Amino acid sequence: MASKFLIFSLLVSFQVLTSTLANETGFVGTLNRKELGLHKKDKVSHFKFFFHERFTGSNATSVTVVPSLPNYTATSFGLVGITDNALTVGQEPNSKVVGRIEGLYAGTSQTEFNLLVVVNFLLTEGKYNGSTIAVLGRNRLSLKVRELPVIGGSGVFKFATGYAETKTLYLDADRSTIEYNIYVSHY
């Protein structure tokens, strides 16, 4: 009986201490998982998108903000760019638009052509309308298929995790066609 009382006393003390510490800071508290939708079983979804970048002209969708350093033009080290492209369901530029990819990229390697990619996939169709999937990672362009982490999202994709596979289907000085397969765990 004494051991049960001791365990109960320790649990109560821990709860009081935790609550007191949370209240003393003024900026942290406990969450109700149900209110956040985290009581549901998570699901894994696969999204397949294409986007079509235009690098030149008055309607460019990916633009260089800072050019690469002079000694690193082959690797694009130092390059910083911004992108805002329509997401389509097919690889043809005139296929159905289901969202946008908005973000930035930077040349981060002195020895090979790699980009640090920070992008949001903003969806505009059906139950996903207004939700985003956030991807951040190293895009090693020398590989045919590159893998980048899903680091979160908003709307339907709150607390999202997963990964994205991307590959370049077409690339020249004026434009590119990129495929993204996103595998995302969400509630």
pLDDT, tens digit, 9 for 90 and up, residues 3-62: 665 565 655 555 655 555 555 667 777 777 777 767 778 899 999 999 999 999 999 999
The 10 Å Cβ neighbour count of residue 135 is 26
Helix, strand, or coil (residue 152)? strand
Is residue 89 within 8 Å of 96, Cβ to Cβ? yes
Note if the pTM is more than 0.85: no
- Backbone angles phi and psi of 3, in degrees to 5: -70, -35
Assign residue 93 a region (left: φ > 0; alpha: ψ between -120 and 50; beta: otherwise): alpha
pLDDT, tens digit, 9 for 90 and up, residues 90-114: 999 999 999 999 999 999 999 999 9
Report the pLDDT averaged over residues 155-184.
96
Give the integer Cα–Cα distance in Å for 143 and 137.
14
Q: What is the pLDDT of residue 143?
A: 96
3-state percent breakdown (helix, strand, coil) of the chain, nearest 5: 20, 45, 35
Residue 187's pLDDT band (cuts 50, 70, 90): confident
pLDDT, tens digit, 9 for 90 and up, residues 112-166: 999 999 999 999 999 999 999 999 999 999 999 999 999 999 999 999 999 999 9
Q: What is the pLDDT of residue 38?
A: 72
Strands 80-88 and 43-54: antiparallel
User: Taking the domains of the chain in order of start, what are their residue ranges?
Assistant: 39-186
- Domain 39-186: state its class: mainly beta
**What average pLDDT is seen over the chain?**
89
Question: In the numeric block, which tokens belong to residue 156?
Answer: 């339907």
Is residue 79 within 8 Å of 64, Cβ to Cβ? yes
pLDDT, tens digit, 9 for 90 and up, residues 64-96: 999 999 999 999 999 999 999 999 999 999 999
- Chain-centroid distance of CA 119 in Å reads 6
- More confident position, 187 or 8: 187
Give the integer Cα–Cα distance in Å for 176 and 187.
33
Q: What is the pLDDT of residue 16?
A: 54
